[in-house]
Amino acid sequence: MGAYFLVPVAAALEFALRGPNGTHSLAAFRDIAAQPELVPMLTVSLRIALGTLLITVALMVPTVVWVHLRLPRLRPLVEALSLLPLVVPVVVLVVGVLTAFADAPNLIKGTPAILALEYVALAMPFSYRALDAGVSAVRLPTLVEAARSLGANWPTVLLRVVVPNIRTAIVGSALLTTALVLGEFTMASLMLFDTFPTWMVRVGQQQAGVAVGLSVLVLLTSWALLLALSIAAGRPRGATSLFRRSS
């Protein structure tokens, strides 16, 4: 199982290190730092990621909490709905989004901001499941009723009781979302936006070693983040499943 993930990574790493005539060197990694577009492109993608996860948290936390408290019987249905973005082809999503936002102000449809809106949907299978697992792990109905009987209104209940107790799940879904944004090529490319992944593909057409080295770095960084998360959460089993879903 581990080999299934590790062999391609090792192969990519070996390719990035490969120099002319069978030699190996760190030249490709030195070239990464020299790319003038590295920082701007990374900034674009990180900003999209930030927007995506802000919208995701603001939208998904209340949704998941509400489903758990008031509509527990609909949980399977909502879970199935959250998986739809995995089933619907990205091309269809793109066309759908372009139609839906045809009349939106240019600030949204003409800038990568629209990508954040799309990535919220694209990340839903991951963010919903991470939050759902986190909420299931605490006795939410009782905690909420206790807080209400002590005089807390709904906003206070959410901020003081619900969010602190599902913090790990929120961080988890945020990380998964970030990892997704940093690796999403198809949609950005189809919408003719330049983001970190599309830039990486472009670089790869000229300097394969640099692009592959970069992708190895991104991969290892997101793994390190997930690992840190799983250690912080102290739940090895949950961590493994997060790990697999992100790969």
Partner 1 sequence: MTAVTARAVRQQQAGTPVELLGLRRRYGAVNALDGLDLTLVPGELLALLGPSGCGKTTALRILAGLEQPDAGRVLVAGQDVVGLPAHRREMGMVFQQYSLFPNMTARDNVAFGPRVRKQPASERRRRADELLELVGLGSHGDRYPHQLSGGQQQRVALARALAVSPRVLLLDEPLSALDAQVRAQLREEIRRLQRELGITTLFVTHDQEEALSLADRVGVMRAGRLEQLGPPEQVYHAPATPFVAEFVGAMNRIPGRVVGDGHVEVLGQRLEYAVDRLRSPGAPVEVLIRPEAVLPVPADAAATVVSRSFLGPVTRISVSSPQGGLVLADVSSVEAAALAPGTAVAVQLRRHPVLVRDPR
Which CB atom, from 106 or from 142, has the smaller least distance to partner 1?
142
- Selection from 28, 29, 9 nearest residue 20 by Cα: 28
Interaction site with partner 1 (CB under 8 A) = 138-139, 142-143, 145-153, 156, 160-161, 164-165, 167
Which CB atom, from 168 or from 215, has the smaller least distance to partner 1?
168
Strand partners, 24: 18
Sort 206 into a burial class: Cβ within 10 Å, 0-12 / 13-18 / 19+. exposed
- Minimum distance, C-beta of residue 163 to partner 1, in the bound complex (Å): 9
Alpha helices per DSSP H over 113-235: 113-137, 140-149, 154-156, 163-165, 167-183, 186-190, 196-206, 208-233
- Minimum distance, C-beta of residue 171 to partner 1, in the bound complex (Å): 14
Sort 71 into a burial class: Cβ within 10 Å, 0-12 / 13-18 / 19+. exposed
Which CB atom, from 41 or from 147, has the smaller least distance to partner 1?
147
DSSP state of 26: S
CA dihedral 220, 16, 183, 88 (to 10 degrees): -120
Which CB atom, from 153 or from 206, has the smaller least distance to partner 1?
153
Which CB atom, from 22 or from 234, has the smaller least distance to partner 1?
234
Take residue 29 and report the two structure tokens written for it: 């990694």
DSSP state of 25: -
- Minimum distance, C-beta of residue 233 to partner 1, in the bound complex (Å): 14
Which CB atom, from 89 or from 155, has the smaller least distance to partner 1?
155
- Minimum distance, C-beta of residue 56 to partner 1, in the bound complex (Å): 22
